[in-house]
Structure 1
Amino acid sequence: MPESDYREDVGADTPYPYHVFFIIGNEFCERYAYYGMRSILIIFLTYFLGFSKDESTIIYHSYIALCYFFPLIGGIIADSYLGKFRTILILSIVYLFGMVMMTVSAVPFGDDNTPNQTNTILALCALATVAIGTGGIKPCVAALGGDQFQDTEKGREQLSGFFSLFYASINAGSLMSTFVSPILRELQCFDRADCYAIAFIVPACLMFVAIIAFVAGSSKYVQKPSSGNVFGQFVKAVCPCGDKSRYTAAQMKEFKSVLPIIVMYIPLPFFWALFSMQGSRWTLSATQTEGWVGNAKIRPDQMQIMNPIMILAFLPLFQYCVYPALEWCGIKMTPLRKMSAGQLLTALAFVVAGFVQLAIDADLTPIPDYKDQNSVRVLNGLADEDFTAKSSYWNFVEDYDPYVSPKEKSGSMRVRAILINPNVNYHLRYHLIDSDGIEQRMVVDKTVLPGNKEDESTEFDRGNFKIKAYFMIGSIDERS
Structure 2
Amino acid sequence: MTDSIIRADAVLSARRPGVTASSLRAGTEQSLRSVYSLGHSAIASLPGSLHSITEEAVTPFTLACFLVIIVEFGERFNYYTTKILYGSYCTQMLNMTSSEYNIFLNFNDFFNYGTGIIGAYIADAFLGRFKTICASAPIYVAGLVLLTVSATPLGYGDWPYYPDSNGGWAYPAFWASVTIMAIGCGFIKPCVSVFAAEQLKDEHGNDASPRTLERLYLWWYLSINIGSFIGPLAAPLLSGGTPAGLDNIIGQKYQCSTNATLVPTCDEYCPGGCQLTPPTPAQFEECCTGQRIGLNYWLVWGCWSLPMLLLSFSIFYIGAWKPGYIATPAQGSYLGDFFKLLWGAIRCLDGGKPSDGKPIRCFEKLKGVAGMPNDRLIDEFRMMLITSSIFVPFSLFWFANSQMYSWGYNQCDPALKIQGWMDCNQMQTMNALSILIAIPIIDFAVYPILTKMNIKLTHVHKIGAGMVIMGAAIIIMGVIQIFIDKNGKYLGASSSSYVWDDPDDPKQLSVYVQMPVFVLSGVAEVVGNIATLELAYVGSPPSMKSLVMAFGLMTSCGGAIIGFIVNPFYTPSNSIYFQFVTGIVVVLFGPVIWFGFRNMKTGRDLMPELFEENLQDVIRTGSLDTSMMSTGSLKLFKSGSGTGAAMFEMGSKHAMDAVTSGKAANPA
| Structure 2 contact 69–193 (Cα < 8 Å) conserved | no
| Structure 2 contact 73–226 (Cα < 8 Å) conserved | yes
- After TM superposition, give the deviation of residue 199 of structure 1 in Å: 2.0
With structure 2 as the length reference, what TM-score do the two structures score? 0.51
Equivalent of 1:25, from 63, 70, 94? Answer: 70
Alignment of 1:230 with 2:281, yes or no, is no
| Structure 1 contact 168–312 (Cα < 8 Å) conserved | no
Return the alpha-carbon distance in structure 2 between the equivalents of residues 347 and 307 of structure 1.
15
Question: For 1:300, what is the secondary structure of its paired residue?
Answer: coil
| Structure 1 contact 236–244 (Cα < 8 Å) conserved | no
Structure 1 pair 123–251 and aligned structure 2 pair: CA distance change class (3 A): same
- After TM superposition, give the deviation of residue 116 of structure 1 in Å: 2.8
Give per-residue Cα distances to partners, 1:270-304, cap 9 Å, x unaligned: 222221123211112111343457xx442001111
- After TM superposition, give the deviation of residue 349 of structure 1 in Å: 0.8
Alignment of 1:63 with 2:108, yes or no, is yes
Match of 2:85 in 1: 40
Question: For 1:266, what is the secondary structure of its paired residue?
Answer: helix
Question: For 1:110, what is the secondary structure of its paired residue?
Answer: coil
Structure 1 pair 149–14 and aligned structure 2 pair: CA distance change class (3 A): closer
| Structure 1 contact 23–214 (Cα < 8 Å) conserved | yes
Return the alpha-carbon distance in structure 2 between the equivalents of residues 149 and 278 of structure 1.
39
Which runs of structure 2 are paired with 1:308-457 in the superposition (5 Å)? Answer: 308-365=432-489, 367=491, 390-391=499-500, 401=504
With structure 1 as the length reference, what TM-score do the two structures score? 0.70
Name which of structure 1's ranges 334-343 and 26-35 shifts more when overlaid on structure 2.
Answer: 334-343
Structure 1 pair 378–314 and aligned structure 2 pair: CA distance change class (3 A): closer
| Structure 1 contact 148–222 (Cα < 8 Å) conserved | yes
Match of 2:382 in 1: 256
Structure 1 pair 253–17 and aligned structure 2 pair: CA distance change class (3 A): farther
Structure 1 pair 326–214 and aligned structure 2 pair: CA distance change class (3 A): farther
Equivalent of 2:250, from 160, 173, 190? Answer: 190
Return the alpha-carbon distance in structure 1 between the equivalents of residues 479 and 316 of structure 2.
46
Which structure shows the bigger proportion of residues in strand conformation?
A: 1
Name which of structure 1's ranges 40-49 and 228-237 shifts more when overlaid on structure 2.
Answer: 228-237
Question: For 1:390, what is the secondary structure of its paired residue?
Answer: strand
Equivalent of 1:204, from 306, 314, 326? Answer: 306
RMSD: 3.3
Return the alpha-carbon distance in structure 1 between the equivalents of residues 370 and 237 of structure 2.
56
| Structure 1 contact 79–230 (Cα < 8 Å) conserved | no
Match of 1:96 in 2: 141
Structure 1 pair 227–345 and aligned structure 2 pair: CA distance change class (3 A): same
What is the number of residues matched between the two proteins?
Answer: 374
Structure 1 pair 377–175 and aligned structure 2 pair: CA distance change class (3 A): closer
Q: Which amino acid aligns with 2:249?
A: C
- After TM superposition, give the deviation of residue 221 of structure 1 in Å: 3.0
Name which of structure 1's ranges 108-117 and 223-232 shifts more when overlaid on structure 2.
Answer: 108-117
Alignment of 1:105 with 2:105, yes or no, is no
Q: Which amino acid aligns with 1:111?
A: D
Equivalent of 2:319, from 186, 196, 217? Answer: 217
Identity across the alignment (%)? 26
Q: Which amino acid aligns with 2:389?
A: V
Return the alpha-carbon distance in structure 2 between the equivalents of residues 309 and 376 of structure 1.
29
| Structure 2 contact 65–197 (Cα < 8 Å) conserved | no
Return the alpha-carbon distance in structure 2 between the equivalents of residues 302 and 343 of structure 1.
25
Return the alpha-carbon distance in structure 2 between the equivalents of residues 126 and 163 of structure 1.
31
- After TM superposition, give the deviation of residue 269 of structure 1 in Å: 2.2
Alignment of 1:177 with 2:226, yes or no, is no
Which runs of structure 2 are paired with 1:228-307 in the superposition (5 Å)? Answer: 228-237=332-341, 239-240=344-345, 241=349, 247-291=373-417, 296-307=420-431
Return the alpha-carbon distance in structure 2 between the equivalents of residues 145 and 169 of structure 1.
13
Equivalent of 1:167, from 221, 232, 243? Answer: 221
Match of 2:192 in 1: 141
Alignment of 1:121 with 2:172, yes or no, is yes
- After TM superposition, give the deviation of residue 323 of structure 1 in Å: 2.0
Where relative contact order (Cα < 8 A, 6+ residues apart) is larger, the structure is 2
- After TM superposition, give the deviation of residue 175 of structure 1 in Å: 2.1
Give per-residue Cα distances to partners, 1:187-215, cap 9 Å, x unaligned: 41221252111122222222212212332
Structure 1 pair 252–221 and aligned structure 2 pair: CA distance change class (3 A): farther
Unaligned runs of at least 5 residues, structure 2 = 1-13, 16-55, 241-245, 254-293, 350-365, 509-668
